[in-house]
Structure 1
Amino acid sequence: MDVQTLTVGPIVGHTSHNLIRIFGRAELAIYEDKPRKAHGVIRYRKVGKSDFSAPLYFKMNPNFDLTGVMVLTTLEENTPYEYQVGWFYSEVDTKDVDVQKVLNWQNIDCYRIKTASSDRSQSRNLVFGSCRYILRLFGGLWWDDRSDRTFKSILEQIDSGKSVDQVIMCGDQIYADDLNVIGADDSLDEYNKRYRKVLTSKYLRRLMSTTPTYMTLDDHEIEDNWPESASARDWVTKFPAAIHAYSTYQASHSPLFELSGSRITGTPTHLWYKYNDGCCDFFVCDTRTERNLNKESREIIGPRQMKELKSWLCDGSGNVKIIVSSVPPYESESSDKWYGFISQRDEMLECIRINEVPKVVFLSGDIHACMASQVALNDNITVTSVVSSAFFWPYPHPNRSSFKLSGHLDTLTASKYKVKKASNVYPTDAFTKLHVSEKRIRVDFYSRKGDKLGTKNYNFD
């Protein structure tokens, strides 16, 4: 039996020191008014070995747009592997697939991936960014593909020998609301179709097939400035459809879903998650779907997420603490960002200051410019913030005067938070590469076409 090429993917998701999650999608076919049963299949081997593992089978779920996630377990730490993954039709259940079946893999590419490190002294190379705008034109018959050039530039660095341990996407991976009103998506089929288009561009697809990719959502996965203009109908139609599609294409390969053997399982009760790699601990926030816009009790994240974030900050790991937020912590004084929720921003910063949490770094996007700076919470504790946006935005970008990069932050506390050591602002399509070690972080900004824009170095004092 011929193994078929995935229609979306493979996407290498959460990768720890001993496991890798891999996402893929089959092709929908209807037989007797029902979707045909499709099954994913994967095999792998350690680089340098001649024999692949026995094929492992996993379900392509019609409730999730014929997608599935396979988890490779009991792998060796910090070790390169090769894998092949595809799918086929069979009317039996996945558990009943004949494991002795002879499969033809000749049309399936072989990809290489490396497990993460549990060594807390191990430095990490990260690429991150946000906001990839792809406009549908002429009724969806043509899509602007210039955004894929950004991912080609990242691949060119990797191909030249510059390692990337993971890619982080900080939100607005899709723009489901083209120009806010023209052809905005509001049904599950439309959101799924949007993801299928966006995630299958040539260079992004290649990047995600070999590099662990972590994602969180912002507003355009639902609609602009969600939920500011949401109607009662939007909450029961548009929002469930958008989150179902987000869970399918972005969250399913994250650490969010629990594991049962080599399968993901359960239904998450939240969208934020945590993971570790080398000298870095990561907390990937959901700063969009838990918002409370009530004037008396404004929240950008819910009470449970805030409690977990503060506990994570104070766990004494000694690692670099990287907080991924779709919106920036202080650079933009807009009500849609953390600035619009000053009480919670104070709560987070005061937790860091009072408990003297060292080596805290914010990664964020959203504002269509790149920059870095620090905030001194007192004489001993400094927080670093790096903003990277947009992967592609074909309209005017903001300039430096739009951002808070000096002076003191507004606060409801008696503390003084002083912004210092700001980089230049790069108001252009770009991505950012970070080299993070136990003692410092180097920030390199690159244009969409790969030109070096600037560098900023920060020590963890």
Structure 2
Amino acid sequence: MKVKPLTVGPILGAVTGDTARIFGRGEYKLSRNKKSVLSCVGVARIRALDSSDYDPPIFFKMSPAFDTSGVAVFDELSSETEYEYQIGYFLQKKEEVDQANINLDWSKAHTKQFQTASTDPKKSRSFIFGSCRYLLKLFGSWFDDRGDKTFESILKQINSGTTTNSLLMVGDQIYADDLNAIGADRTIEEFFSRYQETFTQPHIRELMGQIPTYMTLDDHEIEDNWPSKASPKDWVTLFPTAIHAYITYQMSHSPLFEIVDDKADVIGSPSKLWYKFTDGCCDFFVTDTRTERDEAESSDPAFEEREIINEDQFEALKKWLADGSERVKFVASAIPFFPDFKKTELDKWSGYLHQRTQLLEFIRTNKIKRVVFLSGDVHCSMSAELLCEEDPDFKIISLISSAFFWPYPHKSGSFQLSGKLKTTSLTSHSYTVTNAGPAHFDDNFSRVTCDLNSLKFQVFQRLGKLLGEKEHSF
């Protein structure tokens, strides 16, 4: 039986010290007599680089409900260890496969290498993050591939020996609403096609096959500034369609889904879209700041019923922040926590001042250290710190990285890069933005290298030129 190469993937998703998840898509077809459908069966195998033999292959379902895709799960791995894996699929008439006796030809399968995560809470880490990769779809089927140059530059760093432990994409991995009304995706087939084209361009495909990749959504996975313009019909047609495609291509290989019987359980409907993971000295909480919004009837940012995340996520975030791990606490939020634009934008955290003030007070009163927000969205990259005038022990850091690629002139935003951050009457303390900027408005990606004492934030232009770097201490 020949193992066919994947049509999308492999995407190396969540990797821990002893497990790894790998996403792949196949392509079913009709039997020769065209009276039945040949189903796709995913298959993968793995070996430690210091071993000459692969472990026995594992088989996983490629579900038509999820665009003929599935997730392979490897377990019982060793931390900080280099592995090689092969993955692909084959066509099968029957549901069941005689796994013990099947003879597989792996010559066409994808072969990649990766390293498992570190379980040492003091181990330094280096990761890439960014957001907003525009992939214009024109004339019905032609996609712009200029944004793939960004990922080529990242690969060049890796191939030159620069350690890269993970890749975080913090929103707008697709633009389903090309030119807004013109060419916007509405059907599940259109959304699936968008992801297929986006994730099969050569450099991003090569990168995601070897570096653990974590994602969260922003508005363009659905439509611009969702849900500000959503009609009741959009909530029951556009929203579930977009989210199903998002779960298929971005969440299925994430820690969102539990591993059940050595498989990622993506069959059920998730009750949330946020998750957390750990690697070395870094804890990550990947938020969903888009689908849980309650904008209430008031447009006042301080109105307490305006919520950017619901109560369950808010409580989970606070519990995670205060868990005493002593690692660096990275909060991935698609939109910036701070700095704000000089003019209040209701779409950002500045439009939800009640919750932001609550979170600031929680971090300060619980004396939580090493808190860093990672975000994108605003088509520029910069870093900043937030201090409290009345509490010298308080400090949080904001790192913003965007856009991976935007084919039009970048609009220079007007940010409040110093002075007091807007809060509500929930606090009598003054939070001050400091050590901010400079803002880089070129297409770019960012690298974060950190230990328990400090982090280095580097911004690279799309073609790999270093635009700037800054160090922040904890």
The code of the aligned residue for 2:374 comes to L
Which residue number corresponds to residue 132 of structure 2? 131
1:44 aligns to what SS in structure 2?
strand
Shift of 1:98: 3.3
| Higher mean C-alpha deviation, range 143-152 or range 35-44 | 35-44
Which residue number corresponds to residue 273 of structure 1? 275
8 A Cα contact 1:257 1:267, kept in partner: no
Return the alpha-carbon distance in structure 2 between the equivalents of residues 97 and 177 of structure 1. 45
> Residues 290-301 of structure 1 correspond to what in structure 2 (within 5 A)?
290-294=292-296, 295=298, 297-301=305-309
For the pair 1:408 / 2:420, whether they are aligned, the reply is yes
| Higher mean C-alpha deviation, range 160-169 or range 288-297 | 288-297
For the pair 1:288 / 2:271, whether they are aligned, the reply is no
Question: When the two structures are aligned, how many residues end up with a matched partner?
Answer: 457
The code of the aligned residue for 2:373 comes to F
Which residue number corresponds to residue 8 of structure 2? 8
For the pair 1:37 / 2:48, whether they are aligned, the reply is no
Return the alpha-carbon distance in structure 1 between the equivalents of residues 147 and 36 of structure 2. 36
Structure 1 residues 99 and 321: alpha-carbon distance in aligned structure 2, compared to 1, 3 A threshold:
same
8 A Cα contact 2:88 2:110, kept in partner: no
Shift of 1:34: 5.9
Which residue number corresponds to residue 101 of structure 1? 102
8 A Cα contact 1:36 1:89, kept in partner: yes
Structure 1 residues 29 and 385: alpha-carbon distance in aligned structure 2, compared to 1, 3 A threshold:
same
8 A Cα contact 2:12 2:20, kept in partner: yes
Return the alpha-carbon distance in structure 2 between the equivalents of residues 352 and 234 of structure 1. 37
The code of the aligned residue for 1:408 comes to K
Q: Deviations over 1:204-228 (max 9, x none)?
A: 0000000000000000000000000
8 A Cα contact 2:28 2:91, kept in partner: no
1:203 aligns to what SS in structure 2?
helix
- Tell me the TM-score normalised to structure 2 length: 0.95
Shift of 1:143: 1.3
The code of the aligned residue for 1:48 comes to D
Which residue number corresponds to residue 259 of structure 1? 259
For the pair 1:187 / 2:187, whether they are aligned, the reply is yes
Which residue number corresponds to residue 223 of structure 2? 223
Unaligned runs of 5+ in 2: none
Q: Deviations over 1:93-131 (max 9, x none)?
A: 25x333321111112232101100110010000100000
Q: Percent of pairs identical after alignment?
A: 48
Which residue number corresponds to residue 382 of structure 1? 395
Unaligned runs of 5+ in 1: none
Which residue number corresponds to residue 372 of structure 2? 361
Return the alpha-carbon distance in structure 1 between the equivalents of residues 312 and 181 of structure 2. 34
- Tell me the TM-score normalised to structure 1 length: 0.97
Return the alpha-carbon distance in structure 1 between the equivalents of residues 294 and 110 of structure 2. 46
Return the alpha-carbon distance in structure 2 between the equivalents of residues 323 and 228 of structure 1. 24
> Residues 163-174 of structure 1 correspond to what in structure 2 (within 5 A)?
163-174=163-174
Return the alpha-carbon distance in structure 2 between the equivalents of residues 228 and 61 of structure 1. 33
Shift of 1:240: 0.3
1:384 aligns to what SS in structure 2?
strand
Which residue number corresponds to residue 116 of structure 1? 117
The code of the aligned residue for 2:127 comes to L
Which residue number corresponds to residue 314 of structure 2? 306
For the pair 1:175 / 2:175, whether they are aligned, the reply is yes
Q: Deviations over 1:343-362 (max 9, x none)?
A: 00111111101101000000
Of 359, 366, 369, the residue aligned with 1:348 is 359
Shift of 1:267: 2.8
8 A Cα contact 2:10 2:110, kept in partner: no
Which residue number corresponds to residue 449 of structure 2? 435
RMSD: 1.1
8 A Cα contact 1:326 1:366, kept in partner: yes
For the pair 1:202 / 2:216, whether they are aligned, the reply is no
2:220 aligns to what SS in structure 1?
helix
Structure 1 residues 34 and 239: alpha-carbon distance in aligned structure 2, compared to 1, 3 A threshold:
farther
Shift of 1:234: 0.4
1:344 aligns to what SS in structure 2?
helix
The code of the aligned residue for 2:157 comes to Q
Return the alpha-carbon distance in structure 2 between the equivalents of residues 14 and 7 of structure 1. 20
8 A Cα contact 1:423 1:456, kept in partner: no
Return the alpha-carbon distance in structure 2 between the equivalents of residues 425 and 98 of structure 1. 55
For the pair 1:425 / 2:439, whether they are aligned, the reply is yes
